[in-house]
């Protein structure tokens, strides 16, 4: 991966995309093209030294423009969010298959040297995630296929498409299955946020409102692992420097219940809240954790940021945003008589 070539980050206006661009610039990449469908003022991070373009990559002509003269493609573009979003927008999530399809076709046409695809732990078979007492998921556990409806099926299908484009068109690919990536500079409200950011927001709001209550989706006993953003970016870099082309788990193996995640955020905030449980809210599978045997064997590495440390950084960033939004609100003006 020559640093003088043009690198495309599809979904560069998103959470992971913004952090990836920041890392590429820090590594010395001189020509980075960032593409996202959102207006520029809605991007999570904007780097003005980058070629920023607003394109809808569900369309083939937009992908042609995005990939033209590019040597490396990072495909992080998708219509997605937390469990509340993906369970209510299955068709929208599946339409992201158009993005990967057209980017792969354009990458073959323009002779791209490496293609990265951001997959998800939602590809894993549901019958292996029915208990909070989980056995960590190995890469092979995606088959026989029974992924998350909608979003998971799209990710699994797109993984296979990447594989066959490598086989049939000699397009080198790298595929990472992300496990619940979180951190600063991400979504924390509006319906697309994931559990770490949502819980931080709820605790901060409880502190600000002084009501000392929090609603938890599900019974709080469901288990997950959460991957801090810096670990995610380091894992992507390692994959792109390797010749490995099969899907690889990119996730922390530090397992926690949702109740335990709330405990951590309460401790950071210095508060104890009364908990209510919304059993009708989307909660996803009962248990999921990452088996990191493969990534350890490939690189002698795995995500290592302690959940407590990552959550404190995330909490502090979200708190700054929430307090800043209050401070910038205009003062109310009384109605004229």
What share of residues in the chain are helix, strand, coil (percent, to 5)?
Answer: 40, 15, 40
Query: Which candidate in 115, 151, 188, 315 is catalytic?
Result: 151
Question: Is 151 among the catalytic positions?
Answer: yes
Return d(Cα 200, Cα 179) in angstroms, integer: 19
The closest alpha carbon to 130, from 152, 146, 119, 144, belongs to 146
Q: Supply the Cα-derived Rg of the chain in whole angstroms.
A: 20
Cα–Cα distance list, 261 to 193, 197, 199, 326 (Å) = 15, 11, 8, 26
Say how far apart CA 187 and CA 225 lie, in whole Å. Answer: 18
- DSSP H helices in 37-174: 60-67, 83-86, 90-94, 97-109, 151-169
What is the C-alpha to C-alpha distance for residues 248 and 119, in angstroms, rounded to an integer? Answer: 9
Residues involved in catalysis? 151
């Amino acid at each position: 991966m020559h640093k003088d070539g043009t690198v495309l980050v599809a979904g560069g206006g998103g959470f992971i995309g913004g952090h990836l661009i920041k890392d590429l610039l820090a590594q010395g990449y001189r020509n980075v093209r960032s593409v996202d469908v959102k207006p520029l003022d809605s991007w999570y991070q904007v780097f003005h030294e980058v070629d920023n373009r607003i394109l809808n990559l569900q369309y083939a002509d937009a992908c042609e423009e995005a990939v033209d003269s590019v040597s490396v493609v990072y495909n992080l573009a998708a219509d997605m969010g937390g469990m509340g979003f993906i369970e209510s927008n299955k068709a929208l999530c599946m339409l992201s298959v158009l993005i990967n399809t057209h980017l792969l076709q354009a990458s073959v046409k323009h002779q791209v040297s490496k293609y990265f695809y951001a997959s998800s732990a939602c590809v894993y078979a549901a019958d292996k995630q029915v208990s909070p007492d989980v056995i960590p998921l190995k890469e092979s556990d995606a088959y026989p296929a029974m992924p998350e409806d909608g979003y998971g099926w799209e990710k699994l299908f797109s993984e296979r498409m990447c594989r066959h484009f490598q086989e049939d068109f000699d397009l080198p690919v790298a595929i990472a299955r992300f496990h619940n990536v979180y951190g600063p500079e991400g979504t924390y409200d509006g319906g697309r946020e994931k559990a770490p950011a949502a819980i931080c927001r709820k605790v901060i709001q409880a502190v600000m409102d002084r009501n000392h209550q929090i609603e938890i989706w599900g019974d709080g006993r469901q288990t997950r692992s959460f991957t801090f953003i810096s670990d995610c970016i380091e894992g992507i870099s390692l994959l792109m420097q390797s010749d490995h082309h099969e899907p690889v788990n990119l996730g922390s193996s530090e397992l926690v219940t949702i109740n335990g995640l709330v405990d951590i955020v309460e401790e950071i905030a210095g508060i104890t809240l009364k908990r209510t449980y919304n059993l009708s809210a989307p909660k996803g599978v009962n248990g999921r954790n990452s088996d990191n045997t493969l990534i350890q064997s490939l690189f002698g590495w795995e995500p290592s940021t302690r959940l407590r440390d990552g959550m404190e950084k995330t909490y502090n960033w979200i708190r700054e945003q929430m307090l800043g939004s209050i401070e910038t609100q205009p003062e109310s003006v009384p109605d004229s008589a």
